[in-house]
Amino acid sequence: MTTRTFAGLIVFALTLAPLGAQAPAGKVELKLSLPKPMFIGTPTNIKSANLEVSGKSRGPFYVPKGTVLLSQKKTVTSSDSQPVIGDLDMITDGQKAGGDGYFVELGPGAQWVQIDLGASHPLSAILLWHYHTQARVYRDVIVQVSNDASFKTGVVTVFNNDHDNSSKLAQGKDKEYIEVAEGRLIDPQGARGRYVRLYSRGNTTNDLNHYVEVEVYGLPK
């Protein structure tokens, strides 16, 4: 486990188990239900100075025994209360297909969505899909956890790829990535919170922000 701190925020680095690894004591492999891929192959026309190497297979991910999906059907709020397309409750409705009618489109610039889990939980995994019909990179993806709905105190940053601090939430060290059907799996390293807030600031196709689904896993209260 690697821990970093930026501007008073605690930041955890993601660690995935290697392929073929045995589950650590007290943990089990997280079984995920993934949508059908919408495109095949590795895009070559996406430019980013901070882009991770694509094409790597995601190995098994282990979580504490008793981990459950906490976010399904939970209330979602946003910095854009009137999405251009879709309704905010689609972000936790369990529907992950990437086509028309399955995503929410928020306005341009920096925007966030926030999930209220209803109670504070130690979190085991966060899986998110911005958009996977087309290969894109979403900018300034930042994921934070807190027990404060306003995110003024007790904020834990579990992912941040804003490498130049353009969103003014602290410079991040994580890599940008290409959206694919398997989503982006984030390890919150047991960070505890009731609220999960996810930021983005446009993408390589346009200035808008999109979400297909967000899944938050953790231990029951």
Nearest-5° Cα angle at 141, 161 to 143:
100
Backbone angles phi, psi at 153, to 5 degrees: -135, 155
Residue pLDDT, tens place only, 110-155: 999 999 999 999 999 999 999 999 899 999 999 999 999 999 999 9
pLDDT higher for 128 or 9? 128
Are 81 and 180 spatial neighbours (Cβ–Cβ below 8 Å)?
Answer: no
Residue pLDDT, tens place only, 43-76: 667 888 899 987 677 899 999 999 999 999 999 9
Buried b (16+ CB within 10 A) or exposed e, 182-213: ebbbbbbbbbbbbbbbbbbbbbbeeebbbbbb
pTM: 0.88
Q: How far apart, in whole angstroms, are the C-alpha atoms of residue 108 and residue 79?
A: 11
